């Protein structure tokens, strides 16, 4: 239903998937990036990102609306 991930713009760790790759991977699975927090860390290389599932059941929709409210979306 929702994910909060720390994503990197630069390969700070060996074998890490970068932000654009993760966004494309999640988009193909029905998630959309709904909020990206300001960069942080060494060289401002990482950002926390919030993704929400696009298609949800009516029951999940109530939870999705609550997540939007909590994160100010």
- DSSP string for 15-62: TPPPHHHHHHHHHTTTEEEEEEPPPBSGGG-EEEEEEEESS--HHHHH
The rounded distance, in Å, linking the Cα atoms of 12 and 55 is 33
How remote is the C-alpha of 9 from its chain's centroid?
13
**Largest distance between two CA atoms of the chain:** 42
Which pLDDT does position 43 carry in this prediction?
A: 83
pLDDT of 73 strictly over 80: yes
pTM: 0.86
Which pLDDT does position 12 carry in this prediction?
A: 87
Which pLDDT does position 18 carry in this prediction?
A: 96
For the stretch 6-63, pLDDT in tens is 999 999 889 999 999 999 999 999 999 999 999 987 788 899 999 999 999 998 999 9
Q: Which is it for strands 31-36 and 2-8: parallel, antiparallel or unpaired?
A: unpaired
């Amino acid at each position: 239903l929702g994910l909060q991930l720390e994503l990197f713009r630069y390969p700070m760790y060996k074998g890490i998937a970068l932000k654009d790759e993760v966004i494309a991977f999640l988009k193909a699975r029905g998630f959309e990036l709904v909020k990206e927090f300001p960069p942080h860390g060494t060289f401002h290389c990482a950002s926390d990102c919030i993704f929400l599932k696009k298609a949800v059941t009516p029951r999940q929709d109530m939870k999705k609306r609550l997540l939007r409210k909590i994160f100010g979306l």
